[in-house]
Each structure stands twice: as structure tokens, then as C-alpha cells.
Amino acid sequence: MEDQLSPNQVLATLSKHDGPILTAQAFPSISFVKVKSALDSLKSREMIIHSPVEREEVILTGEGEGVAEEGSHEAKVFEAVRAAVDGLKIDDLPKMVGNESANVGKGKALKAKWIKMDQGKFRTSTDSITDITRDQLATIRKSRSYPDPKVVTDLKKRKLVTTQRVISFKVDKGPNFSTEMVKEETDLTADMLATGAWKTAKLKPYNFKAMGAPAMSGALHPLNKVRHEFRQIFFEMGFEEMPTNKYVETGFWNFDALFIPQQHPARDQQDTFFISDPPVADLPRADPPAASSQTLPNGSPSSTPADKTATSSTSTPKDPKERPLDYDAYFKAISTVHSTGSHNSIGYRAPFSVAESQRLVLRTHTTAISTYMLYHLAANPRPARYFSIDRVFRNETVDATHLAEFHQVEGVIADHDLTLGGLIGFMEVFFAKMGIHKLRFKPAYNPYTEPSLEIFGFHPGLNKWVEIGNSGMFRPEMLEPMGLPREMRVYGWGLSLERPTMIKYGVKNIRELLGHKVDLAFVEGNPAVRLEKD
Ligand code: PHE
């Protein structure tokens, strides 16, 4: 069966007809899609005009196909009777033509007077017959239609044909009709200009409706985009970025230095991922001189508390105003403030375990880094603003809004005589820059801040208050062992990067944003910029 149709075939067929043609009749075996594509290419050149026509198509059933091939049941009966030498015994008919043809065919052959019954035998009543049914089905098979609707109704009743509604096209010659489709030029070439071919060339018109080719480009993950926004806000507010390039911390920097009691439930297996190999690090000490190329804002080299190559517990400052950092003394001061209390605090009055301090953990918050930075700041106390945006780990049950690892946005401000009012005022400015204008503060508890405030923002889209952050003024028990002067106050706050990203990008499940379930199409397909700020 032919199943291709070239535009030139359509033109040839059309030129043989005076009037319009119907594709279903002219090309009955070509699929709709192929017909349409041939017509479309001719239509764009205005060589034809066409319009869709809905019509009823008649097609043969399986049984109908059989009749068209082998003849009708009644014709088979007639042939069998004619072939018998002296009539055909009624009971022998099924043997000759099969049960179905015998049952259906004998009545019809009798009614048409092709055969008659004579003493228990069938005999022919005529010499020759015309198998009309077969002829009708042959016609239908070719043209999928039949001129006399009564015949179609009758054949349908006999289940030899069925009908279905199909779209075909009425096609007529267009203003540019010709029998040959000229290839249209898509480019005006130097050659065409040189030979003069451009004068007669048919140029293909521009298709301004064509879709552009998809651009192969990289895409930033939404978390990266929102991170970028936060970084811009921090930089324009005078913050310096903290070096957060390590995931593993000691219990000392993650908990102890923050005055988090060693018996605190957050240190349980429940919330913290402990490292098993190696399980512990050395006590805090200064970095070896060439340990890191990264320079901290206050000029001292960044330290890796777990770095076993470090040998000294003091560091020599470059700035003459700076006092040397004495890690041994700091560690002792922290152990004292926990166990017996100091700096006007009664402490936790529980033994302080050095082993607990040395345990290695995946950092549960970036406040470990802030603490480390503040300790370095204490060597030369002065107003400072630090921020970081990086990954933290918590041993939590994963659900639509919680992951065991996520990103924390953290800021700390150190200055003389800071107040709680100042913290609230700062939060209002900071979050307004993210498009969050209505804030509420709720008293909360952190072991390392007092007072502590949970921050809620009103989300107009969700029409409710959502928790957006945690904040507070760092406790003297944390700041004074570092050597920061008493009138130097520090406040800090932290929030997840995921929460605002989910709100801004309409992501309902955090697992679609981070982790192995992230769909690359989502990353590639989301807008490069968001024009709204809310
Ligand atoms: N560390 C806190 C948290 O993980 C955030 C915070 C930082 C709170 C600094 C107060 C001060 O939620």
C-alpha cells in the first residue's frame, strides 16, 4: 500500500481535475498527517487552497473483508449447488461451504431465487449470478464510501461494514498553481548574485511564527539565585563573608564555645551526625603558618580546628594592636564557664568533658564559624559585620519541609553597646530588602543567646505568618571567655536558604529543591530573573 504523498502528486492529481478534489477520495490510503503535511507546504506557497471537510467513511469489517476476497455466503452456496452433479443434499451443504456460509447463505440464495429446494436437495434455478454484495464491498474498499446510503445501512446491519467520521480536505487550485513545485531558495547567495539567478529565484518568505531554536545554556539552581540575592543584600549593608569551607567541626566550636551544655539534647544522636572515622580531633590550636591561603577579614589565617598538623596553641599577630591568640587559655576559659561558672555566671555546674569537646561532628549550624570569627575578632575588638551562606547538617526525619542537610543564611554584628531594639530594627531593614515587610518577634530560647527571638514574616501569597528565622544577643558566657570587652555586644540571626527559595519559586516539597530528586528541567526551565520582589 502506498503511504507517501509528495506535494507534486497533489498538484498532478489536481491538474487532472476541473474542480476541487477530496483528499479522502483522491488519496484514500494516505494517512491524515501525511496528507496534511503535503497540503501545508503547497498552501504556504499559495499553490493550492484547502478547507477541512468532515465526512462519514465506510470501512469493511473483518467479515466484510472475507466477503470481498472470497465472495458472499449466498454466492458460495450457489457455487456449491451448481458444482453438485445431481443436486446437493441439504445436509451436505455445511460440509461444502462451512457452517457460517451455509446458515447465512442458503436463505439469501433461496430468496434471490438462485437455488430452490427439490425433494430434500438444493438445485440451481439459474445458470449464472452476479455477486452484488461482493461488488458493493469491493467498491467500498476502494473509495471508503458508497453512492446509495440504503446499501450502506443494509451492509452495516449485516456487520460487513462500519462507518466512522473523518476529517479530509477539499483541495482546489490556488493563485500560484502550477504542476510542479519549485524549490524555494532560503538564502540569497553570492553565487546567485554573480550569475543573475536572483532575478528569477523564488525566495522562501520568512516565517515569523517559527519557534526559536532552544538555546543550549547553563542554568543556575534557584538556591544559587536566592543565595546571590542574599549576598548582595549583605554586601550592600557592609558585611564581610565568613570562610565556611568545611563541613566537619569539633564539638568545641559547634557547641562548647557557644555555651551549649554538654548534656544538651541537641547533641544527642537525634540531631547531630557524629563522625566515626576519625571520631575525635585535637584540642583547638592555632594554624600552622602556611596551612591555608585563605585570609580572614581580621588578617589572621583561617584555622582548621581539627587540623592535626597544627602544633602551636598560640598565634602571632601581624597587627601590633592585636594581642596573640591563646587557644589553650580559651579552651580552659570555656571549660570553666561551663563547669563552675565565671564572668558573673554560675555555669552549668556539671563536669566538663574534654572528650566531648574533641568529638567530630557535621556542623549543625554555621554559628560554629561565627563563633570562631568572633574569637579572632576578640584579639583586636572592633565593630564588625560578618555573614555566611552555607550547608549545615541535622539528623532529622526527612519530609516535605525538612532535609537532613540544608543551607543556612547567617549574620552577626558586633559593636559597642548594641541593644535588642537595634536587632529588631536591623531585621526590619534586612528582611524588607528581601521583600518581607511585616515582621513579628516571639521570645525563644537558644543556649547561646539571651534574649532570643524567633522571627515571623507575613507572607501575602500564603496569607499567613511564617517562621523565617531565629536570632538573639549572644550571651556573655560565650563572648567574655573569648576576651571581648563587656560593652561589646554581638547579635546574630540565622535562617534557612531553602524556606525563602521555596516561597519565591513556588516549590511545595523541599525534596524537589535539593537532593537526588531534583528535576534538571525544573532548574533549566525556571526564569533567569524574577521581576517581582515579593
Ligand atoms: N544557630 C541558629 C540556628 O541554627 C541561628 C542563630 C544564629 C540564632 C545566631 C541566633 C544567633 O537556628
Ligand 1 lined by 250 (C-beta under 6 Å): no
Rounded to an integer, the average pLDDT of 404-408 is 95
From 392, 410, 423, 497, the mutation candidate for ligand 1 (largest count of ligand atoms within 8 A of CB) is 410
Residue 298 has pLDDT above 60, yes or no: no
Give the bridge partners for 492, in sequence order: 412, 472
List, for residues 159-214, the tens digit of each pLDDT value: 999 998 888 899 999 998 988 887 788 899 999 999 999 998 888 888 899 888 87
- Please give the pLDDT value at position 249: 95
Q: Is 253 in the pocket of ligand 1 (CB under 6 A)?
A: no
Confidence of residue 384 (pLDDT cuts 50, 70, 90): very high
- Kindly state if the Cβ of 469 falls inside 6 Å of ligand 1: no
Q: What is the pLDDT at residue 2?
A: 56
Residue 471, ligand 1, Cβ within 6 A = yes
Residue 456 phi, psi (nearest 5)? -115, 140
Distances (CA, A) of 534 to 375, 437, 459: 37, 9, 9
Arithmetic mean of pLDDT, 312-323: 74
User: Could you tell me which of 86, 67, 68, 77 has the C-alpha nearest to residue 110?
Assistant: 77
How many Å lie between the centroid of ligand 1 and the Cα of residue 410?
7
DSSP result, 157-220: HTTSEEEEEEEEEEEEE-TT--SSPPPPBSS--HHHHHHTGGGTPPBPPP-TTSPPPPP-----
Task: Classify residue 429 as exposed, middle or buried by CB count within 10 Å of its CB (0-12, 13-18, 19+).
Answer: exposed
Chain-wide mean pLDDT for the chain? 88
Atom of ligand 1 nearest to the CA of 491: 11
pLDDT in tens, 60-85: 999 999 999 999 999 999 999 999 88
The DSSP output letter for 114 is S
Check if 254 has its Cβ closer than 6 Å to any atom of ligand 1: no
Question: 458 - beta bridge partners?
Answer: 465
The answer to whether the CB of 492 is under 6 A from ligand 1 is: yes
Q: State the amino acid at position 422 in one-letter form.
A: G
ipTM of the complex: 0.96
pLDDT at res. 287: 65
Q: Work out whether the CA dihedral 309, 312, 314, 317 comes out positive or negative.
A: negative
Greater pLDDT, 322 or 414: 414
Q: How far apart are CA 528 and CA 464, in angstroms?
A: 28
CA–centroid distance, residue 44 to ligand 1 (Å): 66
pLDDT in tens, 480-497: 999 999 999 999 999 999
